[in-house]
Structure 1
Amino acid sequence: MSSALLALGRRRTTAERRRDRERDIIRATRELFDERGTIDAQIDDIAKRVGINKALIYRHFAGKEELFALTLVDYLGELDDRLGAVDNPRRAPLNRLKALSEVFVDFCLEFPAFTDCAMSLLRRTGEELFGEITEPVMITLGTAMAAALGRIAVVLEAGQRTGAFAKADTAYLANHLYTQTLGSLHMARVGLIVSSGKPGHPVVHHAEVATVRATAITATLATAVGRFAYEGPKKARRAGDRS
């Protein structure tokens, strides 16, 4: 075997080892997320779980945010598999959307760290994200999100064709429902609701998980069925010009 072929074999082996280590790091991060939550998952603990020096993690990932983003990709891949397992194009669109919403809500309840991780990214602006996460990872994250969101958009389109759902921009609405559900499930994560009592004395109640779950699913269906139209900035401006 020529020296060139040997060198190529070594490069391939090195690349494979790198990919395997990256998968090990992401798997360890998710394990710690599920055990402790995102706040208590530290780089030192992740490195110990994998059995490497923490400096090696920064050779594979630009930083903690990038590692967390790729861990979110792992969650999103599993979520999309679960959504695909229950989606049936032969069912009525409302029933299809209800089944998808139930899976999404239950996934958030089963993996609270997924909700935390997803919400953490949503709180950042695009400029902040591109400052913390490299472009290839951003593309990977966007692709993973688009898979699940695209599945929801297809159901919304089917419902609009039959008249079951209000006409709206399905890409926008799918993203809205994703964000809306994450926000609702954060209430279950916190476990508290606040109401007014005597002046200056708010009352804190426990948020029942079953109630939050039912409300989140109902809100998804109501938003899809509701009679409104997302017109976008151009139409909105035209309407303003006429007023």
Structure 2
Amino acid sequence: MTTAPQPKIDGRRSAAAARRRAREQEIIGATRALFDERGVRDAQIEDIAKAVGINRAIVYRHFTGKEELFALTLVGYLEELRGDLNAAAERPGSARERLAIIVSAFVDYALAHPAFVDCAQALMRRSGPELLDEISESALFRLGRGISGCLTVLSTCIEDGVATGEFAVEDPTLLANTLYASGLGALQLARVGILVKEAAPGIPTVGEISTDQVRSYLVDSALALASARQGQPSA
């Protein structure tokens, strides 16, 4: 019995899979372009589909929903960010010096890509069960790989500092995750550019804050948290 037709079937399946992957990347690319141009909130599925030249229904054939599409778009940002963080981590110097450079690189990338911050924060506001319901397992894996790739750069630097005695951290992974999450929040201050405080009891007022101040704060906070021994205040 001949098996000649089988390669043709496999070939058609491979070609169809390649076309599907190409279309998915096209849709993700259009989403990224709209994010960078308009921001996350103003990026609508209809606009994304129009940019690709397809019906919005086709978008939902490739993605489980808006959350999955946004998650996979975030993966692209994270891959770029990881490249910047790796370059920073390869700079010569002590663990303290390298941690400062890594945090600065994170801030610089986020300031240059405001939609990255918005997209990351939007997904972080969703609970784990919600994400599992709305995003496919494969997309969650890619998102997790993107985040962990960035966090590993941080945690490895912290571990190096622990080994040399520069840092006193029991759980470098926890600290890396904390720095990532708190950094995203602090970057909103840089974007808004204002601080809220009391001018007198019960009388609110606002002050200005610059991106350089936010960068310095995040760097100093990272170094202080990495250097503080558990149960003792940082120096």
Query: Using the alignment, how far apart are the partners of 1:129 and 1:86 within structure 2?
Result: 32
Query: Using the alignment, how far apart are the partners of 1:70 and 1:110 within structure 2?
Result: 19
Any runs of at least 4 consecutive aligned residues in structure 1 with deviations exceeding 6 A, and if so which? Answer: none
Q: 1:3 is matched with which residue? A: 5
Gaps of 5+ in 2: none
Q: 2:179 is matched with which residue? A: 177
Contact kept? 1:152, 1:174, Cα under 8 Å: yes
Match among 59, 81, 95 for residue 83 of structure 2: 81
Q: How does 1:123-162 map onto structure 2 within 5 Å?
A: 123-162=125-164
Secondary structure in structure 1 of the residue aligned to 2:154: helix
Query: Using the alignment, how far apart are the partners of 2:217 and 2:116 within structure 1?
Result: 20
Q: How does 1:26-45 map onto structure 2 within 5 Å?
A: 26-45=28-47
Match among 12, 15, 26 for residue 14 of structure 2: 12
Query: Using the alignment, how far apart are the partners of 1:212 and 1:167 within structure 2?
Result: 24
Q: Deviations over 1:121-157 (max 9, x none)?
A: 1112111111211111111111111111111111111
Query: Using the alignment, how far apart are the partners of 1:207 and 1:39 within structure 2?
Result: 24
Q: Deviations over 1:88-135 (max 9, x none)?
A: 275310111111111101011001111111111111211111121111
Secondary structure in structure 2 of the residue aligned to 1:91: coil
Query: Using the alignment, how far apart are the partners of 2:91 and 2:156 within structure 1?
Result: 10
Contact kept? 1:22, 1:60, Cα under 8 Å: yes
Q: 1:198: how far off?
A: 4.3
Secondary structure in structure 1 of the residue aligned to 2:170: coil
Q: 1:223: how far off?
A: 1.4
Q: 2:116 is matched with which residue? A: 114
| Aligned CA distance change for structure 1 residues 89 and 112 (closer, same or farther; 3 Å) | closer
Q: 1:80: how far off?
A: 0.5
Q: 1:3: how far off?
A: 2.8
* RMSD across aligned positions (CA): 1.8
Gaps of 5+ in 1: 230-243
TM-score by length of 1: 0.89
The total of aligned residue pairs comes to 230
Tell me if 1:186 matches 2:178. no
Q: 1:206 is matched with which residue? A: 208
Secondary structure in structure 2 of the residue aligned to 1:194: strand
